[in-house]
Structure 1
Amino acid sequence: MNKFSVLVAAAALALSASPALAKKQLVIVVKGLDNPFFEAINQGCQKWNKENPTSEYECFYTGPASTSDEAGEAQIVQDMLGKADTVAMAISPSNAKLIAQTLKTAAPSIPIMTLDADLAAEDSALRKTYLGTDNYLMGYRIGEYIKEKKPNGGTFCSIQGNPGADNILRRAQGTRDALSGQKGLPALKGEGGWTEVDGCPIFTNDDGAKGVQGMTDILAANPKLDAFAIEGGWPLFGAPQPYRDLVKPLADRIASGDFVISAADTIGDEVAIAKEGLVTALVGQRPFEMGYKAPSVMIDLIEGKKVDDPVFTGLDECTKDTVDTCIQK
């Protein structure tokens, strides 16, 4: 082999190993990798990859180790936006304001969308679309299940996640609106017959054990509490046995409708807990579908195609009587 042939062969080898030939990254950044809800999103993302092996694009899933690390999520967004192979991004903002500020500072030229959780309304221009649950409707349905069992009202406590998470705030507002019959009240003080007890809402930072402890404390201070509105399923899927231990003594009250627990999500042990009669109703999301659809939506945005805003993925509602058929397959 002459010198020229050697050089050509070396150049070809270098080109074959070049990062430029790596797939373009459709990045999904979630609130935290410690949450089974987001793992379901990852499974959807990976299914898309398996079904599109020859695509020039690849779905890449990432996020901070913990859902409580809001700054970590913002840093990952900033870092991934700085990579040349990131061509679109879907973000589930743990802290909507912080992620909005990160996007304003980075001023990305690639399409940005939100997934699962949205930015605040005033920052919506920073993203092209939102893909996920209609969170207000979800919270409203959580409230309706409570109201159905206790039409004359009572006392309740809302269990929430991160104080800055727009999706949870929308759910909580939907619940209050359903219970009160009014719109936009920041707290209920007898409207519609419902009162939020002192110490509520409980913010769990998406930690199941913290959620169960918060519920324990509220019940100790309010033994005649009428209802919990759990705006994310953290206590049930994040700490299922402690949740069962706490709620089992209340099973008869739940069965009679005297005490109501209406909760979000249908993942992990939640459906089994519903079958056991330890929650009144579950209003579930479709995280797998979110992760599976996100790459296709990002590609449409890259190609300049019209994309609806928002793109809702629907709800699955489960009670003890419907657990065998309530989840969309």
Structure 2
Amino acid sequence: MTTKLGAVTLLGMMTAGAAFAQDSNTLAIVVKGLDNPFFEQINLGCQQWLEENADSEYTCLYTGPASSADEAGEVQIVDDLISAGVAAIAISPSNAPAMANRVRALAPDIPVMTIDADFLAEDADLRATYLGTDNYLMGVKMAEEAMALKPEGGSVCLQLGNVAADNINARAQGFRDTAGGGDGIDRLTGENGWTEIEGCPVFTNDQADLANQQMSDVFTANPDLDAFILIGGWAQFAPQAYAQVTDQVMDKMATNELIIIAGDTLPPQTQAFRDGRSHAQIGQRPFEMGLRAPDVMIQLLNGETVEDPLFTGLDVCTQAEPGFCADN
């Protein structure tokens, strides 16, 4: 008998070993960390799929390490799930090279896809498809909004996540190439007037508390900063702390002396946007990722041809055209 499962911890997954027999019909989604509210939207999509497919022979399992900083824990979960014999697996790799190395070593005979974050290009043969955001385009959109607000460029700090997260690095590349007007720019050093300040980029390791501390430190050390770019929404995931940090610079933000562009459009983020605590939000669609992933895995199990990549689109909110962010 198949049991419908929702969010689980690693401990819960490991103690439920019998539930993952070799002939299991479990479709597993493994995210970077259960502590990140962005990934909870993927879980909600998985749960919605379960409700809509109550009579399906398959079940959607959402899991990941307790902390987004636990890269080794995520690799171990994938190892355990593949060894247990799940039907298919969708992975959002925190450390893309490390995850790819382990998947290659396991050589699973089940469909493997990536979701939200992809493997590096040289490891693309390990997965059937990628479902999620066009992350380079997301960086392009961030740069376009920054350039519209600061047409002559300025000093900028990029806030990134994990050093080896392919999706975050792709966004940063999209931002740098677009703002700098080049291709493959490693760091902005005056191109089109944009210069990354000393000490940046900063890496949050997907931790909201660290993200807010970094913002505060950068604002204090760089009173003439022109732009702060949250390549992901980490700081805004802790709305009270984010409000305290942006309180320091609200007067500068009101006159566009300092601009803040942020990734994602979760409810606390759109509230911050409406409160004038960011100038633009570039939103992904994580609920759609979680809702679509089981169907894609079933297609792969059925031997169907699946497009690669499968992009889920973006929502752009600006103060002039708030769009999606006005009511969400």
The match for 2:296 is 297
CA contact (8 A) 1:152 1:193 kept: yes
Could you report, residue by residue, the CA deviation over 1:43-87 in whole angstroms, capped at 9, with x for unpaired residues? 100110111111111011110000000000000000000113x01
The alignment partner of 1:263 has SS state of strand
The alignment partner of 2:282 has SS state of strand
Cα distance in 1 between the residues matched to 2:51 and 2:23? 16
CA contact (8 A) 1:36 1:268 kept: no
- Shift of residue 209 of structure 1? 1.1
Cα distance in 2 between the residues matched to 1:19 and 1:154? 54
- Shift of residue 192 of structure 1? 1.2
Root mean square deviation of aligned Cα: 1.9
Q: Do residues 81 (structure 1) and 89 (structure 2) align?
A: no
CA contact (8 A) 1:48 1:295 kept: yes
- Which AA in structure 2 matches 1:31? K
The match for 1:129 is 129
- Shift of residue 229 of structure 1? 1.0
Q: After superposition, where does 1:141-290 map in structure 2 within 5 Å?
A: 141-237=141-237, 239-290=238-289
Change (3 A) 1:112 1:18: closer
Could you report, residue by residue, the CA deviation over 1:14-38 in whole angstroms, capped at 9, with x for unpaired residues? xxx9986986000000000001111
CA contact (8 A) 2:316 2:323 kept: no
Cα distance in 1 between the residues matched to 2:101 and 2:41? 28
Cα distance in 1 between the residues matched to 2:22 and 2:105? 29
Change (3 A) 1:165 1:149: same
The match for 1:52 is 53
Instruction: Give aligned pairs, total.
Output: 311
Cα distance in 2 between the residues matched to 1:327 and 1:96? 35
Change (3 A) 1:207 1:20: closer
The alignment partner of 1:164 has SS state of coil
The match for 2:8 is none
Cα distance in 2 between the residues matched to 1:151 and 1:315? 23
- Shift of residue 310 of structure 1? 0.3
The alignment partner of 2:247 has SS state of helix
Cα distance in 2 between the residues matched to 1:264 and 1:257? 18
Gaps of 5+ in 1: 1-16
Cα distance in 2 between the residues matched to 1:191 and 1:314? 29
Could you report, residue by residue, the CA deviation over 1:243-283 in whole angstroms, capped at 9, with x for unpaired residues? 11121242232232221100100014100000011101000
The match for 1:14 is none
The match for 2:37 is 36
Could you report, residue by residue, the CA deviation over 1:210-258 in whole angstroms, capped at 9, with x for unpaired residues? 0111111111221100001111000011x21121112124223223222
- Which AA in structure 1 matches 2:261? S
The alignment partner of 2:74 has SS state of helix
- Which AA in structure 2 matches 1:119? F
The match for 2:7 is none
Cα distance in 2 between the residues matched to 1:19 and 1:183? 46
Question: Which consecutive aligned stretches of 4+ in structure 1 deviate over 3 angstroms post-superposition?
Answer: 17-23, 320-329
Change (3 A) 1:318 1:19: closer
Cα distance in 1 between the residues matched to 2:202 and 2:108? 35
Could you report, residue by residue, the CA deviation over 1:99-140 in whole angstroms, capped at 9, with x for unpaired residues? 000111100000100000000001001000000000000011
Gaps of 5+ in 2: 1-17
- Shift of residue 321 of structure 1? 4.5
Identity %: 52
The match for 1:9 is none
Cα distance in 2 between the residues matched to 1:214 and 1:304? 47
The alignment partner of 1:31 has SS state of coil
- Shift of residue 327 of structure 1? 7.8
Could you report, residue by residue, the CA deviation over 1:163-194 in whole angstroms, capped at 9, with x for unpaired residues? 01000000000111111011111111111111
What's the TM-score, normalizing by structure 2?
A: 0.91
- Which AA in structure 1 matches 2:73? G
CA contact (8 A) 1:23 1:58 kept: no
Cα distance in 1 between the residues matched to 2:327 and 2:300? 27
